[in-house]
Amino acid sequence: MEQTTTVQAQAPSPATSPATAVIYSRHHPFPSELIRHERLTGPGSLKDTRHFVLNLGGSGLTYTPGDSLGAFGGNSPALVEELLSLLGFDGDEPVTTANGKQTALQDALRRDYIVNRANRKILGGLAERMPQGEARNRLMEIVDNGDLLCEYIETRDYVDILREFPQVRFESPAAFLAQLSPVTPRLYSIASSCQAHPGEVHLCVAVVRYDTHGRQKKGLASGFLADHAGMFVKSVPVYVQPSRTFRLPADGSRDIILCGPGAGIAPFRAFLEQRLLEGATGRNWLFFGEQHRATDFLYGEEFLDYQRRGLLYRLDLAFSRDQAHKVYVQHRMLENAKELWTWLQAGAYFYVCGDAKHMAKDVHQALIDLARTEGGLSVEAAAQYVNVTLMRTEKRYLRDVY
Ligand SMILES: Cc1cc2nc3c(=O)[nH]c(=O)nc-3n(C[C@H](O)[C@H](O)[C@H](O)COP(=O)(O)OP(=O)(O)OC[C@H]3O[C@@H](n4cnc5c(N)ncnc54)[C@H](O)[C@@H]3O)c2cc1C
Ligand SMILES: NC(=O)c1ccc[n+]([C@@H]2O[C@H](COP(=O)([O-])OP(=O)(O)OC[C@H]3O[C@@H](n4cnc5c(N)ncnc54)[C@H](OP(=O)(O)O)[C@@H]3O)[C@@H](O)[C@H]2O)c1
């Protein structure tokens, strides 16, 4: 499954009446509550990766390992307050959101619009309201230059921009809201087996946190789950996004190879729980990678226990920053090229999940490299084997990358 998060949903109107046969969806999400929240990365880690358990009780929602959960986040109350003070509104003003909901301005800014990052549109809106002068000329220079505009908004939110251009006054809350983008859901690979945890869904989330222009920023959904979703409060609207292709083999006797560094481990926790529950006889081989073993071995105890109990036939770990040179999952794959090739030749499935930009490309190349070195194939034949035979014809190379 290779999906994007750029789904064009309008702000959700969470459903509240599961008594009737409601089918929850992106446009009609279920208001789930956070019932467990643990930090997976330890003190001293550069990462903030968390395990969240959401209650789906009463929703009728079910899922299969390989599916994702769509979740709506929200902006930090402190960010909204700062924005209101720059705008000169008190927040109680009644507004109508993009999807027709009547609410107070501060609630709309918290839950219905993207406020943690600026969009392109805002600068045009600012320019229209800016008095002539040096500041307006500076703004127009950015508006008129596509590259400059992209670069400008990439690292800024509305607070950064309004601080830089304090001359601008929006005539009404509605005029400001009209410049914003409605909130969209984020997808998270489900990290649990529904049968092992009835009525629950587990997520493994790498929380987005960064500093730009002297201010701390956070991800809309990951930051909301980590910092603002109260425990035991129906505050997280969710729906299940089924996968068409990212599935365990129907035949439990097939061997599987799982490659999931970082938060990419999520669906493989679900796969392993499911294989254990079903008593699948095929062997399971997991490649996991993160920065440091001491602080970033996500679900380490669980996987070591699976290894001790024989559910994990092999567990190969790549802690990239525990030595002078980088060690990544694809290096572990190549160190074990002979065995990996033997598994693939015997019909094993190969799964990869996580970073699409770098990791998945390098893992893909490692598969081609080992088809060449171990299978004795030419460069072209090795690429054909991976891209066509494994991926398309036999559908045993499956990806959930983002
Ligand atoms: C099918 C699928 C499955 C997924 N599964 C998982 C999963 O299991 N676990 C997981 O953690 N994620 C997963 N993701 C990613 C997830 O959907 C979100 O994209 C992620 O959590 C970020 O969303 P957010 O709302 O927290 O951040 P957003 O508010 O969307 O902010 C993220 C944006 O912030 C900006 N940004 C980030 N860092 C910086 C920086 N240093 N400087 C400037 N700008 C920056 C970038 O523009 C980035 O796109 C998955 C995605 C897909 C498509
Ligand atoms: N769309 C978003 O806004 C968003 C938000 C959060 C996360 N994500 C993505 O979610 C994924 C998981 O993030 P994460 O923080 O859990 O883990 P991650 O960034 O993928 O890092 C996990 C491990 O992979 C290593 N790595 C880096 N480059 C690699 C490569 N080319 N090949 C193989 N391994 C490589 C890292 O090493 P080093 O760090 O030592 O290089 C680290 O040890 C990433 O794609 C991340 O970009 C996206």
| Residue ID of nearest Cα to ligand 2 atom 45 | 355
pLDDT at 301: 98
Q: Residue 385: CB partners within 8 Å, gap ≥ 6?
A: 368, 371, 375, 377
Q: Which helix (H) or strand (E) holds 319?
A: strand 314-319
For residue 330, the ligand closest to its alpha carbon is 2
**DSSP-derived secondary structure for 176-205:** HHTTSPBP--EEEEB-S-TTTSTTEEEEEE
Q: Residue 392: CB partners within 8 Å, gap ≥ 6?
A: none
Euclidean distance between CA atoms 384 and 342, whole angstroms? 18
pLDDT at 243: 98
pLDDT at 13: 52
**Ranges of CATH 1.20.990.10 domains, the chain:** 77-177
Which residue stretches of 244-358 are H helix? 266-278, 293-296, 300-309, 329-335, 337-345
CATH class of 77-177: mainly alpha
Burial class (CB in 10 A: 0-12, 13-18, 19+), 339: middle
Q: Are 28 and 15 in contact (CB under 8 A)?
A: yes
> Separation of 7 CA from ligand 1 center, angstroms?
13
| Residue ID of nearest Cα to ligand 1 atom 31 | 219
> Separation of 117 CA from ligand 2 center, angstroms?
21
Q: Are 48 and 263 in contact (CB under 8 A)?
A: no
Is the overall model pTM greater than 0.85, yes or no?
A: yes
- 46: helix, strand or coil: coil
Euclidean distance between CA atoms 386 and 389, whole angstroms? 6
Dump pLDDT digits (tens) for 65-101: 999 999 999 999 999 999 999 999 999 999 999 999 9
Q: Write down the CATH number for the domain with range 256-401.
A: 3.40.50.80
Q: Which residues of the chain have pLDDT under 70?
A: 1-21
Structure tokens at 304: 């070591």
In the block, residue with structure tokens 């549109």: 121
pLDDT at 65: 98
Pocket around ligand 1 at a 6 A CB cut-off: 3-5, 68, 73, 116-117, 155, 186-189, 204-206, 208, 210, 212, 219-223, 263, 266, 402
Q: Are 142 and 164 in contact (CB under 8 A)?
A: no
**Ranges of CATH 3.40.50.80 domains, the chain:** 256-401
Q: Are 187 and 70 in contact (CB under 8 A)?
A: yes
Euclidean distance between CA atoms 205 and 369, whole angstroms? 31
Instruction: Count the Cβ atoms, other than its own, within 10 Å of residue 389.
Output: 16
Dump pLDDT digits (tens) for 229-268: 999 999 999 999 999 999 999 999 999 999 999 999 999 9
Instruction: Please give the number of the atom of ligand 2 that sits closest to the Cα of 298.
Output: 16
pLDDT at 22: 75
pLDDT at 20: 54
For residue 289, the ligand closest to its alpha carbon is 2
| Architecture (CATH level 2) of domain 30-72+185-241 | Beta Barrel (2.40)
**Ranges of CATH 2.40.30.10 domains, the chain:** 30-72+185-241
Structure tokens at 350: 């190969």
